[in-house]
Amino acid sequence: MALAGLAALGLGSTAEAQQPRTLRIAMTASDVPTTTGMPNNGFEGMRFLGYPIFEALTLWDLSDPSKPAGLRPGLAESWEQDSTNPRVWRFTLRQGVTFHDGTPFTADSVIWNLDRYFRNDSPQFEAGGSGITRARVTILESYRKIDDRTIEMTTVRPASYFPYMVVFILFTSPQSFEAAGRDWARVATNGAAGTGPFRITRFVPRQSVELSRNDNYWDTARRARLDRIVLLPIPEANTRLAALRSGQVDWIEVPPPDAIQPLRAAGFQITTGSYPHVWPWFFQMGGNNTPFRDVRVRQALNYCIDRDGLVQLLAGTAEPSVGWLKPNDPNFGNPQNRYRFDPARGRALLAEAGFNAQRPLSFRVMISPSGSGQMLPLPMNEYLQQNLREACGVNVEFEVTDWSNLLTATRTSADGAAVRNVQSLNPSSPSSDPSVMARYFLNASRPPNGFNWPNWQDEAFEAAFARLEAARTPAEANAAYAEAHARLVDNPPWLYIVHDLNPRAMSRRVRGFTSVQSWFQDLVPVDIQ
């Protein structure tokens, strides 16, 4: 959205700027994430229109920035895996929680929401929210209410990491649906009621959404300091920068790298930090028109790219990626391949696979101009295009599409109409826990059941992951996790490029923000002066 559009909303006026405790955030999203309780626009949607308003039975623990975020109790006080049947999990619900509309959070409202996502024939079925949730929660077989305090969920197979999937099932008040005439489009217009520390109070389609503090939030120690948050989709990086410099917003996601030092010099706050995120290209191995069935081609490209040069282009706001996990992660494993910029090795592998100067490797990548975790995709991809051509004689073309379309493509079969002319996709990915690994790489997670768009299959990976799922101790789980990850490196389904360092720029008026090792950030302690 242009600066003129911000002014039209009144967000550039002196009166707006002087309103106390109102934080204005410029997102990278091209549109306002959906407001029905299961936001689109990827994890940026979850970061701003998900967890601050709507909660799950389990929640991310964002209290310790020194380590990757784990889980903490949310709308469930506790959970346990059945000792005799490891496919069964029981969740004890928190009592005394109310939705923003005053209705109680109950076991019945949990079942209502699960039916909304997982039962196509339910009156409250929501196709958009269901597609997102099912892609993240890929192994739920059944669920039932045991009593007013207990919900039971059964998975299709044992999964030691299942609570990390439950964190993506958000809960909306059934009354939101009834009050809107049982019409999810009307729910979106008004904004659904959740249980979180903020509530939706104003929505302007394609322009902004306003959140207000929930003064009745169930966790009295975690009531928000801000009165309001205004969220604005501004996909173009320089427009976000101009909005920050002019005082029309207080916080921007992903500032342009060349603006970071000038912003610091001008007194703006810059935050960065390591977190579980990887920015890759996906290789398609299942389509009718792809060069990536040959592992030598996939390995070659991982040796052909100059990751350090790309990090330099990004002014140090990323770090090289040589696997799904970072090399210093204890679960990285011991792969045979340690990728680095080695064009000679890359060209040799390509030649073994039949590609040379007379028959160059050529393919097409679907990319987006912006989006959640996408960093600065246009200059980054242009850099890679030139890098691959000069280092290894590889010809790359791009198909540029909207971020939401790119996300849809990741859940599309190899020869679906949306991806028929591309052999690679460029969506960023979380790498936070084994549940994410499951939905991106297991053979069972091929679209539409998950995000294994490459149609990758590796028997050693499947065996290691089965041991991880059945593990009953952290030592067993970690050993299997490391073995599985080593297969992701040696038989790569992706081109591993960089890990994002999550840069943000803020006005000096913003106080209380701490960047944690998660896609999701805690807005409760944030204040503005």
pLDDT digits (tens, 9 = 90+) for 191-241: 999 999 999 999 999 999 999 999 999 999 999 999 999 999 999 999 999
pLDDT of res. 9: 53
**Is the pLDDT assigned to residue 4 strictly greater than 90?**
no
Question: Beta-strand (E) ranges in 251-336?
Answer: 251-253, 269-271, 277-283, 318-320
Residue 311: pLDDT band by 50, 70, 90 thresholds? Answer: very high
How many of the other CB atoms lie within 10 Å of CB of 4?
8
Q: Are 56 and 280 in contact (CB under 8 A)?
A: no
pLDDT at residue 13 tops 50 = no
Position 276 scores a pLDDT of 92
pLDDT digits (tens, 9 = 90+) for 274-306: 889 999 999 999 988 899 999 999 999 999 999
| Nearest alpha-carbon partner for 243 in 510, 25, 513 | 25
Beta bridge partners of 228: 22, 212
Alpha-helical segments (H) within 314-371: 343-352
Peptide bond into 493 cis (omega under 30): no
Question: Are residues 117 and 134 in contact, defined by beta-carbon separation less than 8 angstroms?
Answer: yes
Report pLDDT digits (tens) over 325-382. 999 999 999 999 999 999 999 999 999 999 999 999 999 999 999 888 888 999 999 9
**Pairing between β-strand 429-430 and β-strand 277-283 as defined by DSSP bridges:** antiparallel
Domain boundary assignment for the chain: 1-35+196-272+504-529, 54-187, 277-500
SS3 call for 12: coil
CATH label, 54-187, candidates 3.20.20.70, 3.90.76.10, 3.40.50.1000, 3.40.50.150: 3.90.76.10
pLDDT band of 6, cuts 50, 70, 90: low
Angle between helices 127-136 and 107-118 (to 10 degrees): 90
Residue-wise pLDDT for 33-55, tens only, equals 999 999 999 899 999 999 999 99
User: Binning pLDDT at 50, 70 and 90, where does residue 449 land?
Assistant: confident
The runs of H, that is alpha helices, within 70-151 are: 107-118, 127-136
- Tell me the pLDDT tens digit for each residue of 453-469: 999 999 999 999 999 99
Cα–Cα distance for residue pair 298/282, rounded to 1 Å: 10
Q: Is residue 116 predicted with pLDDT exceeding 60?
A: yes
If one counts every other C-beta atom within 10 angstroms of the C-beta of residue 127, the result is 9
Closest CA to 77 of 97, 103, 57: 57
**Tell me: the pLDDT tens digits for 242-276?**
999 999 999 999 999 999 999 999 999 999 988 89
**Cross-strand partners of 79:** 91
Distance CA 277, CA 68 (A): 11
Q: Is the pLDDT of residue 3 over 80?
A: no
Q: For residue 221, how many C-alpha atoms fall within 13 Å in the half-sphere facing its CB? A: 1
Nearest CA among 365, 359, 425, 360 for reference residue 392? 360
19 has a pLDDT exceeding 80 = no
Look at residue 12 in the predicted model and tell me its pLDDT.
Answer: 52
How much is the pLDDT for 173? 98
Share of the chain above pLDDT 90, in %: 88
CATH number at 1-35+196-272+504-529: 3.40.190.10
Three-class DSSP category at 151: strand
The contacts of residue 474 (CB under 8 Å, 6+ apart) are none
**1-35+196-272+504-529 and 277-500: same fold?**
no
Which token pair is 406?
């790119």
Percent of residues, the chain, with pLDDT higher than 70: 96
* CATH class of the domain at 277-500: alpha beta
d(CA 428, CA 500): 9
**Is residue 17 predicted with pLDDT exceeding 80?**
no
Separation of first and last alpha carbons in the chain: 26
pLDDT in tens, 160-182: 999 999 999 999 999 999 999 99
Radius of gyration of the chain (CA): 23
The pLDDT of residue 108 is above 50: yes
Instruction: Dump pLDDT digits (tens) for 517-529.
Output: 999 999 999 999 9
Contact (CB, 8 A) for 359 and 390:
no
DSSP one-letter code for 103: P
Q: Is the pLDDT of residue 20 over 90?
A: no
Give the model's pLDDT for residue 52. Answer: 98
Instruction: Give this prediction's pTM.
Output: 0.87
Indicate the pLDDT class of residue 65, thresholds 50, 70 and 90: very high
Token pair recorded at residue 170: 């958000």
Of the candidates 228, 122, 124, the one whose C-alpha atom is nearest the C-alpha of residue 171 is: 124
Mean pLDDT, the chain, as a whole number?
94
